[in-house]
Amino acid sequence: MERKAEHDIARKLKVLNHAKEHGNISKTCRYFGICRETFYTWRRAYESGGNDALINNKPCPENHKLRVPRAIEEKIVYLRSTYHFGSDMIVWHLQRYHDIKVSRNGCYQYTAIDDCTRIRALKIYEHHNQASSIDFINYVVEKFPFRIKTICTDIRL
C-alpha cells in the first residue's frame, strides 16, 4: 500500500475514533476542521468497505485522448530535468532529433478545490497572466456556494 493511502486511512480513522470516544460529531468536526457531511461520508465508507474504503479516490477519470503518449512525455521530462530546456528548446529538440511534433504550449488550466467538500472549479485560459488569475478568482467566488476563507496557491509551469 502506498504511503499516501496509509496516511489517508490513518487520518480518517483518527477522526472517526475521536467521534466515537467523545460521542459528539459536531465538536469532532470543528476540532479537525471538516464538515459534518464529510464525516458522515467517511463513516459510511468505513462501515461498508473497511479501511480500504477510506483511501482518497480521484474525483473524475483521466481523459486519455488528450494526453501526450507516455514515450513522448518521458522524453519531455528527461529534457526538462536533465538539460533544463524551456518549452521552445524542447519543441525544437523533439522535432529535429526525434521527428516528433508537439505544441510549444497548451492552454493554462486553473483549478480550485475545496478541501472539505471537494467541490471543484476549473477553467482554461490561453494566457497565464494577472488578468486570467483575477478572472478565475471571480469565477470561483461565484461558483462556490459558501464564503471563501483562505486561498492556497500551487503554481506549476
What is the rounded average pLDDT of the residues 108-130?
A: 83
Other CB atoms within 10 A of residue 156 CB: 5
Q: Show the cell assigned to 116.
A: 472539505
Nearest-angstrom CA–CA distance, 94 and 4 = 35
Q: Where are the beta strands (DSSP E) in 22-135?
A: 108-113, 120-125
Nearest-angstrom CA–CA distance, 43 and 16 = 7
Q: Does the predicted model carry a pTM greater than 0.85? A: no
Decide if pLDDT at 105 tops 70: no
Q: Nearest CA to 128 among 100, 153, 102?
A: 153
Residues 44-75: pLDDT tens digits?
Answer: 999 998 888 888 766 555 566 667 788 888 88
Question: Among the listed ranges 58-67, 88-97, 142-151, which one has the minimum average pLDDT value?
Answer: 58-67
